[in-house]
Structure 1
Amino acid sequence: MTDIQQQITTLTERLHYLNHQYYQRDLSEIPDQEFDQMLADLARLEKEYPQFAHPNSPTQRVGGTITKQFPTAEHRFPMLSLGNTYSEADLREFDERVRRGLEGAEVAYVCELKFDGVAMSLTYQDGQLTQGVTRGDGTRGDVVTSNVRTIKNLPLHLRPTPNQPSDFEVRGEIFMPLPVFADLNAEREANGEQLLANPRNAASGALKLQDSALVAARRLRFYAYSFLTAGRGTFPTHSASLEALQAWGLPVSDTWRRCHSLQDVLDFVHEWDKKRFTLPVATDGIVVKVDDFQQQEILGFTAKSPRWAIAYKYPAEAARTRLREIRYQVGRTGAVTPVALLDPVPLAGTVVKRASVHNANQIAALDLRLGDMVFVEKGGEIIPKITGVDGSARPADSEPIKYPTACPACGTPLIRPEGEAHFRCPNDRGCPPQRKARLEHFVSRKAMNIDGLGAETVGRFFDLGLVTDAASLYALPAKAAELAQLDRMGEKSVQRLLTGLEESKQVPFDRVLFGLGIRYVGETVAEKLAAHYRSMEAISAATATELAAVPEVGGVIAESLAAWFQEDDNLALVSGLRAAGVQLALTGEAPQAVSDRLAGLTFVLSGVFEQHSREDLQQLIQQHGGKVTGSISKKLSYLVAGDKMGPAKREKATELKVPIISEADLMAMLPTETNAPVAAEEESTSTTLPSEDFSPETSLPAKPVTGQGQQGSLF
């Protein structure tokens, strides 16, 4: 083994160990900075010597793999569903059926909390994670291995033990922790995006992302709950297998319990009825399994589910209370959101005083009236919401709630853009809550992240008239003496703030663009725009049509962005930031032109491509003199069609007689040294393929994996 290879192996093993200590045992053996430096050193060595990189290197945690479409794989052991019940009587009947099936033999159960996430099947071979597959239809699922590898508490390499098989599967649940879900929804609300309904949907959506780096940012977690292998007799019981999984380094929730009687099971159900709300993960019930694997085999299966397991689902907890008031909040983008103020009522482990009503449509649909007795539930057991009205308790003289026609903060008449659910205040320059919220967004962690200047502090400065917009923040050093006189500030706090302001001038351009709070311009869009145009000046000069051609931007975002740069106040803001020394352009050299082979040609890229990302194709076209646009017109040279292209684009291109070509056709138009290798069945020499002849390639299913399941759990 070479010195470099030994360095990579040593760093890999050390980082695996530290990850296990941190995520499984809550032990931090070294400072975060030292860990990050070790990870950076490993990434550098792997880049320089890729032949020595381990497949499950800790560097895989940060993601970066782009998957254009997920292949499918057949489950060796079907991922069947469980029978559900909502009553204790059904649990008693289940116990009776089990005992009859076992002819009166003694039986023990394992009770586990049913986490509300995404079921996942993981394959480990020789201690290494080799594959992650979703449940799918129970027989086949999507292979999402690159996304699964980003989950930090999931070991990529297991600790070896004498009883560890060389090839086995682990079933478990991938979930989004409740604090992460709350942060994600707060960010979406600030960006004017639709809120996610619950953590399960958020986790499911994250696993379907094509960029594993974005999956890593969602901070998903994993709990293992069963072991499967083609061999027999590895463990006598399900509880023994759970203990083994934990010993190997897999995360197993410590909430499970072995129960020796039905009464023990019912006690477990009652214990966690309220206690589950103290956990940082959403739960919706209890799974009860026969512990002994031989007894499981005797009981067997029905067509859809095992006879040895059942899921008890807790009923959705609701409370009845009185609606006292509707208040209207104005967000950063001007959206006016109604919030219900309630008589305090206990619900799902907390005291609820406020509830979401979402928008005017929901107020009308529920026929809400002040003084109503309303029913409140927690959506996904997270966000309180009003779900109904007790009409029998309504006063005879009650009147429907009238949604305001003017902004509750500045009095400006509200507007309701076509197709939108929210009323909005269009006075974005003069409405105090909007201006204040934009400042809070600008200094937030994912934008400028100014040390010493959090949302509360900058909001306070705004209320005192010390700052008015993002550019005015950089005038605070001249007011240092005044700041030091404020309560809870002092000289040290002021110095920290001023240092943070100075350091923020080095924040990359894409985060500055995101920090401006332009409607619909989230982190990803800001990154794409910055990479494409490289400067604020170039973005401001682009038309809406040109902006829409940038990957992941589209027409709605482009129109919003173009309109923003038409406002004199916004141009003055950008000018002020430029004068302050904030980064308004990317550093380094822009991509250089390679040839003029595509000069004079314009392209629209649509769908998902096999060999390249849309960004890569756009860059190739531009490097060879071509242009990429977002709309189809008679002047368009080619529509480059990938898989899952929308039918509207195809129809319009056909109507206007615009040639529709494939990714391989496009590559054939480039110089030979640029053309990436393409599979034989995808090769084409035509550059004017008629649209009716175009048929995107479809992926072949993965080769089925065969094998007999042992007596272990399938869930």
Structure 2
Amino acid sequence: MTMPPDILARVESLRNDIRRHDYLYYVKDRPVISDTEYDRLFRELQELEATYPELITPDSPTQRVGGQPQAELQKVSHERPMLSLDSIAAVEEVYAFDRRVKRELGLEQVEYTAEPKFDGLSIELVYREGRFVRGATRGDGTTGEDVTANLRTLRSVPLQLRTEAHPPAHLVVRGEVYMRLDDFQSLNRRITERGEEAFANPRNAAAGSLRQLDSRKTAERPLVLTCYEIMVQTGGLPSTHWDELDRLADWGLPIPFQRRRCATIDEVILFHREMEEQRDALPFEIDGMVVKLDRRTWQEALGVKSRSPRWAIAFKFPARREITVVQDIVVSVGRTGTLTPLALLKPVEVGGVTISRATLHNADEVSRKDIRVGDTVKVERAGDVIPAIAERVPVPGEQRSVPFAMPNHCPVCGSSVAREGAYYYCTGQAVCEAQLKGSIQHFAAKGAVDIDGLGEKTVAQLIDKGLVHDIADLYRLTREQVLTLDGFADRSASLLLGAIERRRTIPLDRFLMGLGIRQVGQHIARVLANYFGNLEDLMAAAPERLLEIHEVGPEISRSVASFFQEERNRAVIRKLQDLGVRIEAKPRKDFEKAGDLPFKQKTVVFTGGLERWSREAAKRRVEELGGRVSSSVSKKTDYVVAGSEAGSKLADARRLGVRILTEDEFEELAGKPESPER
């Protein structure tokens, strides 16, 4: 395609405009255009680069989307050691630091700069000829991990420094990657609703996001950067730290907004006190102030210790009290579908651990304590482990929000929500992403559909790679897809696919067990299969009809009816059938039609070994014929079936006068065992 002569000029103009607006937004905190206008410029640049891909350059603002996942993060050596800081908290220690500095320098007066100590992840940025070429974590201070691809996704990291400020040929900068508090809460809300473990604090969230092997995941996380040190620079360094920060900002790198040049240590302490008072109003987490000698000649004269400079300290804030604010109440969906309300808190330190969320247990507990969004609350660690809200702390004149209410639909999959006692649960067991791994494992378990080879690790890989979104997707897996899983080769892939193929015909009771319906175990699954005989009649049954079945109470009937009334579950069952899965109907027994179930409402105990029956088959036959099997003998036991080498249960039956059956007598009631044994 022939490129019109004005296209290159327009592309460069767009890039420069976008870089300028990034600088005004991230460095100056003074945006001059709306997000909509910024997005329009960005889309125009994307469209031009898509039309003329030969114009794409590594430092283009569009090149932040992330690339293919890495196998591991590579180690890199820092050009200069990334030192840590000595931390102090008492004012007397700050005065002692000031006295030592003056004594060793032989001066009566020195100047300091003070700036926030961000609670994030320390990183190194390397620029050559003004272009970003490498980024690494601090690691042990000498060697870190290469996170260049991940850092490129951060909008606050300039890929090209401002050329009008004449950046050096080679530049190494130190900064901090962190997460704003509002972005942190939004991220925790999303992952908590999916039933995943929320991050304990913004620092953990930033560290976990930046160290992703897949930079596309980092691109989805709201990380920001602040720079605070020039580690290496060709052409000489500024004479003061204050000028150093100004130079970083001129090049387009974001620097701390809150900083102060202090002529005395008393001014440092005053600024520290002011920042501590403002701490809760800041949009990001800080845990103290960094205090540095301002002049570089003073810094060089004092030098460094093995791991920390002698010319700087971290002046930490006192630990927060256990009082904090409920910023949001979200509902987490557990692996079994239970909905649990969780309070997302303004991070607070409790017993040396930073707490950003606390369980509210259930809706009744929220109502009893009357916890609402915006409330001030007292947080405790129940049993010194699980964070919980002890009580609300009334605040005079506060305007409270509306009371919390559980949702009517699952926040993860949108299925309807049902209640069971004090707890609510998602009825979309067959489709809910939060329950998916557990649901697939349950479906494939030996007591259910029994698909060999679908263990926890394999199921996790199938879901994480996006190959399986519900139980029906198991039956559309291909060899090529299975071979992408770790640990699978031709033979193991064939074995797994063969195991799935052999379960295209599934007995009704095993299928019901595999669906993972709440309150439906093996016994109730057989009871339902025996009563209805086919899946269609069961799916159409109202709770009232289910209650007519012996051993099915109100909770089971509501649970079963809710499961089959949920359209998403029905859609998965139809999908299974469309893929050729046949749910084997269970013909009703002749004597059941006559209403003469020999074990109806009877309790049976087996002891010893039977010649023609496995214990599982015998148990299943008793349940099919209206009875239930117990593991112990009591006065309520109706029959004890005694085989060879019967144990103490036979003696208990004789002592209690319970009727004892031989294997032949059992068969007179139960009929012959099915052959072959399923």
TM-score calculated relative to the size of structure 2: 0.55
Hey, what does 1:386 align to over in structure 2? 380
Does residue 67 in structure 1 map to residue 70 in structure 2? yes
Report the residue type matching 1:317 in the other structure: R
Identity, % of aligned positions? 32
Hey, what does 2:185 align to over in structure 1? 182
Hey, what does 1:206 align to over in structure 2? 209
Hey, what does 1:272 align to over in structure 2? 275
Hey, what does 2:85 align to over in structure 1? 82
Maintained 8 Å contact 1:284/1:314? yes
Hey, what does 2:293 align to over in structure 1? 290
Of residues 171, 180, 195 in structure 1, which corresponds to 2:174? 171
1:600-656 residue CA offsets vs partner (Å, 9 max, x unmatched) = xxxxxxxxxxxxxxxxxxxxxxxxxxxxxxxxxxxxxxxxxxxxxxxxxxxxxxxxx
Does residue 19 in structure 1 map to residue 22 in structure 2? yes
Report the residue type matching 2:333 in the other structure: R
Hey, what does 1:234 align to over in structure 2? 237
Does residue 106 in structure 1 map to residue 109 in structure 2? yes
Shift in Å at residue 234 of structure 1?
3.3
Distance 1:202 1:521, change over 3 A: farther
Hey, what does 1:148 align to over in structure 2? 151
Hey, what does 1:713 align to over in structure 2? none
Maintained 8 Å contact 2:123/2:137? yes
Shift in Å at residue 93 of structure 1?
1.0
Q: How many residues align structurally?
A: 440
Alpha-carbon distance in 2 for matches of 1:537, 1:389: 38
Shift in Å at residue 236 of structure 1?
1.1
Of residues 403, 408, 415 in structure 2, which corresponds to 1:436? 408
Q: State how 1:46-57 maps to structure 2 within 5 Å.
A: 46-47=49-50, 49-57=52-60
Alignment RMSD? 5.0
Alpha-carbon distance in 2 for matches of 1:389, 1:515: 32
Q: State how 1:332-351 maps to structure 2 within 5 Å.
A: 332-333=333-334, 334-335=337-338
Alpha-carbon distance in 1 for matches of 2:249, 2:15: 21
Distance 1:544 1:285, change over 3 A: farther
Is the partner of 2:27 in helix, strand or coil?
Answer: helix
Maintained 8 Å contact 1:239/1:291? yes
1:395-425 residue CA offsets vs partner (Å, 9 max, x unmatched) = xxxxxx9xxxxxxxxxxxxxxxxxxxxxxxx
Distance 1:169 1:384, change over 3 A: farther
Is the partner of 2:473 in helix, strand or coil?
Answer: helix
Maintained 8 Å contact 1:356/1:384? no
Maintained 8 Å contact 2:165/2:250? no
Alpha-carbon distance in 1 for matches of 2:194, 2:171: 43
Is the partner of 2:63 in helix, strand or coil?
Answer: helix
TM-score calculated relative to the size of structure 1: 0.52
Distance 1:251 1:383, change over 3 A: farther
Shift in Å at residue 175 of structure 1?
0.2
Maintained 8 Å contact 2:200/2:356? no
Maintained 8 Å contact 1:155/1:249? yes
Report the residue type matching 1:386 in the other structure: E
Distance 1:105 1:435, change over 3 A: closer
Distance 1:531 1:116, change over 3 A: closer
Alpha-carbon distance in 2 for matches of 1:10, 1:117: 35
Alpha-carbon distance in 1 for matches of 2:513, 2:178: 39
Alpha-carbon distance in 2 for matches of 1:252, 1:356: 30
Is the partner of 2:158 in helix, strand or coil?
Answer: coil
Maintained 8 Å contact 1:18/1:29? yes
Alpha-carbon distance in 2 for matches of 1:165, 1:530: 44
Alpha-carbon distance in 2 for matches of 1:5, 1:570: 60
Is the partner of 1:223 in helix, strand or coil?
Answer: strand
Hey, what does 1:92 align to over in structure 2? 95
Maintained 8 Å contact 1:174/1:220? yes
- Once structures 1 and 2 are overlaid, which stretch shifts more, 20-29 or 127-136? 20-29
Distance 1:110 1:338, change over 3 A: same
Maintained 8 Å contact 2:181/2:202? yes
Alpha-carbon distance in 2 for matches of 1:346, 1:81: 24
Report the residue type matching 2:82 in the other structure: M
Shift in Å at residue 24 of structure 1?
3.5
Maintained 8 Å contact 1:147/1:216? yes
Maintained 8 Å contact 1:469/1:573? no
Distance 1:536 1:53, change over 3 A: same
Shift in Å at residue 119 of structure 1?
0.2
Distance 1:356 1:575, change over 3 A: closer
Report the residue type matching 2:473 in the other structure: I
Shift in Å at residue 239 of structure 1?
0.2
Is the partner of 1:228 in helix, strand or coil?
Answer: strand
Distance 1:540 1:271, change over 3 A: same
1:447-484 residue CA offsets vs partner (Å, 9 max, x unmatched) = x9xxxxxxxxx99xx9xxxxx9999xxxxxxxxxxxxx
Alpha-carbon distance in 1 for matches of 2:223, 2:474: 37
Alpha-carbon distance in 2 for matches of 1:57, 1:89: 50
- Once structures 1 and 2 are overlaid, which stretch shifts more, 288-297 or 238-247? 238-247
Distance 1:338 1:534, change over 3 A: closer
Maintained 8 Å contact 1:356/1:383? no
Maintained 8 Å contact 2:288/2:317? yes
Distance 1:239 1:548, change over 3 A: same
Q: Which runs of 5+ in 1 are unaligned?
A: 322-327, 349-353, 361-369, 372-381, 391-400, 402-431, 449-457, 463-467, 472-512, 585-715
Alpha-carbon distance in 2 for matches of 1:93, 1:277: 28
- Once structures 1 and 2 are overlaid, which stretch shifts more, 117-126 or 528-537? 528-537
Shift in Å at residue 563 of structure 1?
8.2
Distance 1:544 1:281, change over 3 A: farther
Maintained 8 Å contact 1:332/1:434? no
Report the residue type matching 2:229 in the other structure: S
Alpha-carbon distance in 2 for matches of 1:383, 1:60: 44
Alpha-carbon distance in 2 for matches of 1:72, 1:383: 44
Maintained 8 Å contact 1:532/1:550? no
Does residue 243 in structure 1 map to residue 243 in structure 2? no
Does residue 122 in structure 1 map to residue 125 in structure 2? yes
Is the partner of 1:251 in helix, strand or coil?
Answer: coil
Maintained 8 Å contact 1:338/1:357? no
- Once structures 1 and 2 are overlaid, which stretch shifts more, 45-54 or 78-87? 45-54
Is the partner of 1:67 in helix, strand or coil?
Answer: coil
Q: State how 1:482-521 maps to structure 2 within 5 Å.
A: 518-519=435-436
Maintained 8 Å contact 2:347/2:356? no
Is the partner of 1:60 in helix, strand or coil?
Answer: coil
Shift in Å at residue 293 of structure 1?
0.5
Maintained 8 Å contact 2:467/2:477? no
Distance 1:339 1:207, change over 3 A: closer
Q: State how 1:505-584 maps to structure 2 within 5 Å.
A: 518-519=435-436, 539=473, 541=475, 573-574=566-567
Is the partner of 2:278 in helix, strand or coil?
Answer: helix
Maintained 8 Å contact 1:61/1:149? yes
Is the partner of 2:226 in helix, strand or coil?
Answer: strand
Q: State how 1:357-372 maps to structure 2 within 5 Å.
A: 358=359
Shift in Å at residue 528 of structure 1?
7.7
Q: Which runs of 5+ in 2 are unaligned?
A: 350-354, 362-367, 370-375, 389-403, 420-424, 440-458, 489-495, 501-510, 518-538, 540-561, 576-678
Query: Higher relative contact order at CA 8 Å, sep ≥6: structure 1 or structure 2?
Result: 1
Alpha-carbon distance in 2 for matches of 1:103, 1:339: 57
Does residue 43 in structure 1 map to residue 46 in structure 2? yes
Maintained 8 Å contact 2:437/2:460? no
Maintained 8 Å contact 1:300/1:307? yes
Is the partner of 1:123 in helix, strand or coil?
Answer: strand
Hey, what does 1:255 align to over in structure 2? 258
